[in-house]
Amino acid sequence: MSTSASDAHLHDDLFAPDSDAVLQLRGVTVRRGTKNLIEDVDWTVREGERWIVMGPNGAGKSTLLQVAAARMHPTTGDVGILDEVLGAVDVFELRPRIGLSSAQLAQQVPDGEKVQDAVVTASYGVTGRWREEYEVEDEGRALALITQWGLSRLAHRRFGTLSEGERKRVLIARALMTDPELMLLDEPAAGLDLAGREKLVAQLTEVAEDEFAPALVLVTHHLEEVPPGFTHALLLRDGQVVTAGPIEQTLTEEHLSAAFGMPLKVSQHKGRYAAVAA
Ligand SMILES: Nc1ncnc2c1ncn2[C@@H]1O[C@H](COP(=O)(O)OP(=O)(O)OP(=O)(O)O)[C@@H](O)[C@H]1O
């Protein structure tokens, strides 16, 4: 049987993510009004990779992460997440497989929610415990994560009474609750003091170095927040990818200066990065 030209065209257009891709974007644009928040983004995150997404304010980082979290559909382009294709999958089944920590999510957690409940409710992908019953194992896992992230003494405190740093750790524990295959952290160190940031970087380094940890994507503005053990980076500016690839080829003075629009001096010491104006 012969294949018609239109059949062949249709076939070309079918998007099938690479078999080892945890996340794959092809030609992704998100448009609001006349503005492209992200434009023609190609990006592949493969199993075991740990990615930094960096760029100035308004570059489109959070938009990119919302797409990766199956919480926003692109205006054009294709998105593969964990063997599924956005638009052809029930996102409510997909979302529990993705761990997400973001300021938007923090706003959805009710102030009166107990810390333990803020973590365990991730099992159902909800924020705010109602009357749903949780398995004993779920409650046990939530407690283990609360302990691992240094939150034991806060387990019965209300989310609204926590400091910024404490909230950030609760959200990361919550993101790990479903044993996700992909973990997305949007500015987890924002608002932390120096010691808080350093503790978080150390904990994220441990996660990055754990071979059983999920593929990781961490959004940040600051080179100082890049945990050792991260393997790749994507730099964004005005919604477009400046460069993406292995971290040592990406977080260079040339590329970072281009992304932030100013000459920068970049240094590296014991796996940690720092930048100042050149
Ligand atoms: N619904 C919307 N309509 C119009 N513009 C929007 C909308 N949502 C976001 N934007 C704009 O899109 C751009 C990208 O926003 P985004 O939040 O993705 O950037 P970001 O890199 O995460 O920024 P920041 O580092 O400041 O958090 C910004 O200029 C923002 O003002």
Nearest CA-CA partner of 146 in 172, 164, 165: 172
Q: Is 76 a domain residue?
A: yes
| CATH code at position 256 | 3.40.50.300
Residue 68 lies in a domain: yes
Residue 8's pLDDT band (boundaries 50, 70, 90)?
A: very low
Question: Is the minimum distance from the CB of 140 to ligand 1 under 6 angstroms?
Answer: no
Which residues fall within 8 angstroms of residue 268, CB to CB, at 6 or more apart?
Answer: 274
ipTM of the complex: 0.95
Residues 6+ apart with CB under 8 A from 99: 122, 174, 175, 176, 177, 178, 180, 182, 183, 184, 214
Residue 240 maps to a domain: yes
What is the tally of structural domains in the chain? Answer: 1
Within-domain flag for 277: yes
Closest atom of ligand 1 relative to the 66 alpha carbon: 18
Asked if residue 4 has pLDDT above 50, the reply is no
Q: Can you tell me the mean pLDDT for 245-263?
A: 96
Q: What is the pLDDT of residues 123-169, one digit of tens each?
A: 777 676 776 777 888 889 999 999 999 899 998 899 999 988 889 99
> Whose CA is closest to 166, among 140, 191, 201, 139?
191
8 A C-beta contact, residue 46 and residue 22: yes
Q: Which of 31, 37, 62, 260 to mutate to test the pocket of ligand 1 (most atoms within 8 A of CB)?
A: 37
Residue 249 belongs to some domain of the structure: yes
In this structure, the residue with its CA closest to atom 16 of ligand 1 is: 60
Determine, yes or no, domain membership for 93: no
Q: Is residue 32 situated within a structural domain?
A: yes
Whole-number Å distance between alpha carbons of 10 and 216: 33
Q: Is residue 99 part of a domain?
A: no
Count Cβ atoms below 10 Å from residue 253 Cβ, excluding itself. Answer: 14
Q: Which domain holds residue 30?
A: 18-82+216-278
Residue 1 has a pLDDT of 42
